[in-house]
A = this chain, B = another copy of it.
Amino acid sequence: MYRTHNNGALRAEHINETVTLAGWVQKSRDKGFMIWVDLRDRYGITQLIFDEERTPKAVMDLAKTMGREFVIQVTGKVIERESKNPKMPTGDVELLVEKLEILNEAKTPPFTIEDATDGGEDLRMKYRYLDIRRNPVKEKLIFRHKVSIAVRNYLSEQGFIEVETPYLIKSTPEGARDFVVPSRMNEGQFYALPQSPQTFKQLLMVGGMDKYFQIVKCFRDEDLRADRQPEFTQIDCEMAFVEQEDILNIFEGLTKHLLKEVVGFEIESFPRMTYDEAMAKYGNDKPDIRFGMEFGELNAVAQHKDFKVFNSAELVVGIAVPGGASYTRKEIDKLIDWVKRPQVGALGMVYVKCNEDGSFKSSVDKFYDQEDLAKWAEATGAQPGDLICVLSGETSKTRAQLSALRMELATQLGLRKSDEFAPLWVVDFPLLEWDEETERYHAMHHPFTSPKPGQMELLDTKPGEVKANAYDLVLNGNEIGGGSIRIHDKEIQSKMFDYLGFTKEEAQAQFGFLMDAFQYGAPPHGGLAFGLDRLVAILGGQETIRDFIAFPKNNAGRDVMIDAPATIDAAQLEELNLKVTL
């Protein structure tokens, strides 16, 4: 036994006990005749004291050789601390060291192992094992474990069975790019790593598994944007004999359970909103509803005056910024500059100050009188003291711009509180979305998503208007997950592939096994998948996922710690019948 207690365990009740501890030297203060050391492990910090009057000389001498991050084992008596530290759980006591063994020495770490480190991102990634010693990273990994096990136990109690689906599957050109794995035994052939276990979970439904889940790694070979990883983790779920409502209820339950169990937050309301409503009210299919600032459409009250910019616009839309009437001209100009940045792309911004006395002062007073502006205030819900910001133009672009402004302002105003959680379901997503590049419709969710009952016929006439039995879970302005009711009829699935531009042969080669399966008694089914990395980050009050992943990759898809990927042996390539063509 290397230790009798961990470094978070000792309390006043242990005083006079002889104990053995082990851990890392967090820091030491050497006063010559006395040395204090903070000894750290996963569980906490205990203060050690080496005192030349009470500690053997050899131990005292050895103690003086220790540096930061040395791994040591000490035995001694727990004593009462002279100056107690009420901020530390072990702050009432310290260990008077009698025996010391240095278990391993340590070079000076390349950055300080403290809550606030001096290490830059790159250095921290290269020495990730040292970064994990820091509380902020360590706690995030422990938090992730808590979320995972809470998910598993909740779903298990609800009758879900975790089934492991295979990682070596078949490449399908649909969707994102696959990572492939050359097969040595099947010459010239490749497996693919799953982008999701989608078809397997549907086959489990055909197989009568009824309620399936899995916390599972998925893979996408995409050009990495910030905060995207080539491998990521999904909470993947599927149920048979369900309608959309059943699924929403089950996973609303899971979300509430997690919030309560893991972050101690009780949800008051869990709204549902159609996609169309979310776009109209927030300009966004994943609105952050921790705060208001809902869109007010102003076409009816702002058009057909003499202001040509608005008259020629497809949409005129505004939001009320709480307390914004007090903004200086300079502050407002900064906002206007902000929306005109290329990343946002607005051509300009009209504003209205709603003065405390009930009067209005706008940037378009030339065209609109007080009565007009009062109608704007009504439409945007602006109160005296608020500022109305108005954008105009093509509908989808303008919505996106105003949505960006809404989020920016909320951040500036401190309305996006990390300890508040506002989930909602966005439902009735469009089945298809237009792809500018290929000039055709793509499945918005995936090709297995079922259109709303009776809408299949619209496919040929108004494909963009077909709504799907598809839904997203949104939390604090982030899409946490999404899913759909699936097609379970071979004919409809086959038609859908047709519609999405698959030839019969392609559909059969890639998804024949699924359509075959549908012929042997497929039940109605549906499900969803949550992104675990994102969910954990949001529950942990953070926006970026990287520190919730033990060993993340950088934006070039590299693990800089182990230096992967790397070239492989010529012999390995030969066995795989492959040649690198560079």
Question: Interface on A for B, CB 8 Å cutoff?
Answer: 1-3, 6, 22-24, 40-43, 69-71, 103-107, 109, 127-133, 138, 141-142, 144-145, 148-149, 152-153, 156, 161-171, 173, 177-193, 199-200, 203-204, 206-211, 217, 219, 221, 223-224, 230-231, 233, 241-243, 245-246, 488-489, 513, 517-524, 549-551, 553, 556-559, 561-569, 572, 574-582
- Quote the shortest CB–CB distance from A508 to chain B (angstroms): 11
A11 shortest CB reach to chain B, Å: 18
Q: Which of B69, B207, B518 contacts A520 (CB 8 A)?
A: B69
Q: Are B207 and A130 in contact (CB under 8 A)?
A: yes
Number of copies: 2
CB contacts (< 8 Å) of A144 on chain B: these are 163-164
Q: What residues of chain B lie closer than 8 Å to A217, measured between beta carbons?
A: 164, 167, 217
CB <8 Å contact, A129 and B168: no
Tell which of B182, B184, B553 touches A166, judged by Cβ atoms closer than 8 Å.
B553
- Judge whether A103 and B42 touch: CB under 8 Å: no
| Whole-angstrom distance between the Cβ of A120 and the nearest chain B Cβ | 17
| A231 adjacent to B565 (CB under 8 Å) | no
**Contact in complex: A186, B107 (CB < 8 Å):** no
Contacts of A42 in B (CB 8 A): 208-211
Q: List 14 A-B contacts (CB under 8 A).
A: A1-B246, A24-B523, A69-B520, A106-B519, A132-B209, A144-B164, A145-B163, A167-B217, A168-B564, A178-B572, A182-B182, A185-B557, A188-B582, A513-B562
Interchain nearest-CB distance for A298 vs B (Å): 43
Are A128 and B203 also in contact (CB < 8 A) when A2-B242, A3-B241 are? yes
Report the separation of the CA atoms of residues A170 and B165 in the bound assembly, to the nearest whole angstrom: 23
CB distance from A305 to the nearest CB of B (A): 53
Instruction: Indicate if the CB atoms of A520 and B564 lie closer than 8 Å.
Output: no
Interchain nearest-CB distance for A466 vs B (Å): 22
Instruction: Report yes or no: B180 in contact with A133, Cβ–Cβ below 8 A.
Output: no
Asked if residues B109 and A167 are in contact (CB atoms below 8 Å), the reply is: no
Q: Are B522 and A169 in contact (CB under 8 A)?
A: no
Starting from the known contacts A104-B523, A145-B162, 14 additional A-B residue pairs (CB-CB under 8 Å) come to: A41-B210, A42-B211, A71-B521, A129-B520, A133-B207, A138-B209, A149-B156, A153-B153, A168-B231, A170-B565, A177-B184, A190-B565, A203-B561, A577-B582
Residues of B within 8 A of A208 (CB): 24, 40-42, 132-133, 138
Are A142 and B161 closer than 8 Å at their CB atoms? yes
- The 4 closest A-B CB pairs, nearest first, are A132-B207, A106-B521, A170-B564, A189-B565
Nearest residue, chain B, Cβ from A564? B170
A157 to chain B, nearest CB (A): 10
Say yes or no: A561-B130 contact (C-beta < 8 A), given A185-B556, A209-B141: no
Q: Is B563's CB under 8 angstroms from A170's CB?
A: yes
- Establish whether residues A186 and B556, one from each chain, have CB atoms under 8 Å apart when the complex forms: yes
A565 to B488 CA separation, bound complex (whole angstroms): 26
A141 touches B168 (CB 8 A): no
